């Protein structure tokens, strides 16, 4: 069995961080994550959206929601929720 590769990127977050979503009438949307001055990540799609793109967007939404829950729990002094496997399912990164 081949080892799975894992990519992890650490971006310092502070008061200069932000997320921006832009919706357009005649093209695919854009999602931008900023952690100035360290990083700028912009997610764009080709004009033809396929099933893999939808799967990626839903996974991004699920993990973002889990992240928000954990941040709020930490802020309120609550313990972290039990760990779950958040690895990318096989084939999901082929979009």
pLDDT digits (tens, 9 = 90+) for 56-92: 999 999 999 999 999 999 999 999 988 876 555 544 4
Question: In whole angstroms, what is the distance from residue 76 CA to residue 59 CA?
Answer: 26
- Residue 59 is encoded by which pair of tokens? 């996974």
pTM for this entry: 0.67
pLDDT digits (tens, 9 = 90+) for 7-47: 566 666 778 888 888 988 888 888 888 888 778 888 888 88
Give the helix ranges, DSSP H, for the chain: 51-75
Question: In whole angstroms, what is the distance from residue 24 CA to residue 26 CA?
Answer: 6
């Amino acid at each position: 069995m081949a080892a799975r590769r894992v990519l992890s990127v650490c971006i310092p977050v502070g008061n200069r961080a932000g997320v921006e979503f832009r919706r357009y009438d005649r093209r695919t949307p854009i999602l931008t994550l900023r952690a100035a001055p360290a990083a700028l990540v912009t997610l764009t799609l080709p004009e033809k959206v396929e099933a893999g793109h939808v799967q990626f967007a839903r996974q991004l939404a699920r993990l973002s929601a889990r992240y928000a829950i954990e941040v709020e729990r930490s802020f309120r002094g609550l313990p972290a929720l039990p760990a779950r496997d958040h690895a990318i399912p096989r084939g999901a990164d082929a979009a």
